Amino acid sequence: IYILNNKLRWGPPQTRLSCSSSPDLEKPPHSMLRHLTSKIKSTGPISVAEYMREVLTNPVTGYYVRNNMLGPDGDFITSPEISQIFGELLGVWIISEWMGAGRPKQLQLVELGPGKGSLASDILRVFSQLQSVLGEASVSLHLVEVSPTLSQLQAQNLTGNTSQEADSEDEPVYRRGKTTAGLPVCWYRRLDDVPTGFSVFVAHEFFDALPIHKFQRTEKGWREVMVDIDPEKPDHLRFVVTPSPTLASSTLVQADERRDHVEVCAEGGVIIQQLVRRITEDGGAALIADYGHDGTKTDTFRAFKGHQLHDVLASPGTADLTADVDFSYLRRMAGGGVACMGPVTQRTFLKNMGIDTRLQVLLRNCTDPNTRKQLISSYDMLTNRAKMGERFLFFSVLHQSRLAKPKKQDGLSLEKKKIPAQLPVAGFTELSFS
């Protein structure tokens, strides 16, 4: 098992990309390098954000678009893939927020970047187990995914291959189906295409894949870090610092910034603002979990290939690119119109959600020694401070009314009026089961 600074990786070091066994697929990475070098030759160095966007999500040769990178045979493994308990506790969180909002008639579960669909599937299992709580609420699943390869895998896992692709590429819903339990599920390329209505949004390891700009403090002020062709090795890329400010360097760095190097994920800021608008207008909540920091880190841009760190500029398109999520930036972008909770560590969140009790229940019902061992080791992986417990953080955006204190009315004391107290926000506060 490999744990490299931040993301958990496992598997043998030489694990091959799961798609590269096909000789036809050996070509695209080279065409990605060619595509980038010809772009740089014609218009000059590109920003790190543009580099990241092209490498990850270019519709033809992008890393996410072509690959199934998740799992022991791929490039990385994530919490929902490690243990079913992870998704189950998130399912409980979603139901708790739906109850906190007064049990609206409609509940849209919207997941950004659903990977293999395991998280959504674990959440939906909890929904069906708690059917008596959800009652008559009409539940639907909405997946925002750019990768056709991964959307197929999600459809397989969630609908058992009964989903249908849209006839035309321009349709906002590019695939639709029904889950095995009969819930409608739709796929979109962008959050903007998801219908409005009371929604709980979940984004696990999604924001870290969004493009970042990189800035360097110099004697002349802030300058942007760009990607250029190495003049000594024409098939290689290198970082350069712009001689003068760019639009991004003059608009995205905070005036009171104290670090010498900063990464800003402007696209993440835009998505947070879209979530804020939806939550304010239609009600709901967003739960964002990722590795990250609260505005303290500097250079976190990394690449992973076969569970190993990889040079970010080498063989673009063959490795996953990622940067730590700056939660202080997301909170600033969310603004004052919503309530933000966290970030708290994954360990704190899962413990507050009752992971210890859930583990005990599963162990009590399990006699197979191997499964018991696996349950315990995956629990340890998720919560251990030295493993995923502290590197991963949970952050939430809630409707303002969710945290509003009940007002005293007519001079009567709260006790006399019996105004119900707000349901505490699960995960972010310690719940007592008295």
Residues that bind ligand SAH (CB under 6 A): 56-57, 64, 70, 78, 80-81, 113-115, 144-147, 150, 204-206, 209
DSSP letter string, 180-230: TTS-EEEEESSGGGSPPSSEEEEEES-GGGS--EEEEEETTEEEEEEEEE-
Which one, 288 or 362, has the nearer CB to ligand SAH? Answer: 288
Q: How many CB atoms lie within 10 A of CB 156?
A: 14
Which one, 56 or 248, has the nearer CB to ligand SAH? Answer: 56
Q: Which long-range contacts (CB under 8 A, 24 or more apart) does 159-163 make?
A: 159/185, 163/187
Residue number with the smallest Cβ distance to ligand SAH: 113
Which one, 211 or 283, has the nearer CB to ligand SAH? Answer: 211
Measured distance CA(226)–CA(45) in Å, rounded: 6
Cis peptide bond prior to 343, omega within 30° of 0? yes
Which one, 84 or 242, has the nearer CB to ligand SAH? Answer: 84
Cα R_g (the chain), whole angstroms: 23
Which one, 56 or 313, has the nearer CB to ligand SAH? Answer: 56
Calculate the CA 394 to chain-centre distance.
Answer: 10
Smallest separation (angstroms) from ligand SAH to the CB of 132: 29
Smallest separation (angstroms) from ligand SAH to the CB of 179: 17
Q: Which residue reads 């002349």 in tokens?
A: 220
Smallest separation (angstroms) from ligand SAH to the CB of 272: 14
Cα 306-307-311 angle, rounded to 5 deg:
75
Smallest separation (angstroms) from ligand SAH to the CB of 331: 21
Phi–psi pair at 275, nearest 5 degrees: -65, -45
Between the CA of residue 211 and those of 50, 53, 146, 237, what are the distances in Å? 7, 6, 14, 18
Smallest separation (angstroms) from ligand SAH to the CB of 56: 6
Those residues with Cβ within 8 angstroms of residue 414's Cβ, 6 or more apart along the chain or in another chain: 406, 408
Smallest separation (angstroms) from ligand SAH to the CB of 231: 32
Smallest separation (angstroms) from ligand SAH to the CB of 76: 8
Which one, 114 or 316, has the nearer CB to ligand SAH? Answer: 114
Which one, 56 or 338, has the nearer CB to ligand SAH? Answer: 56
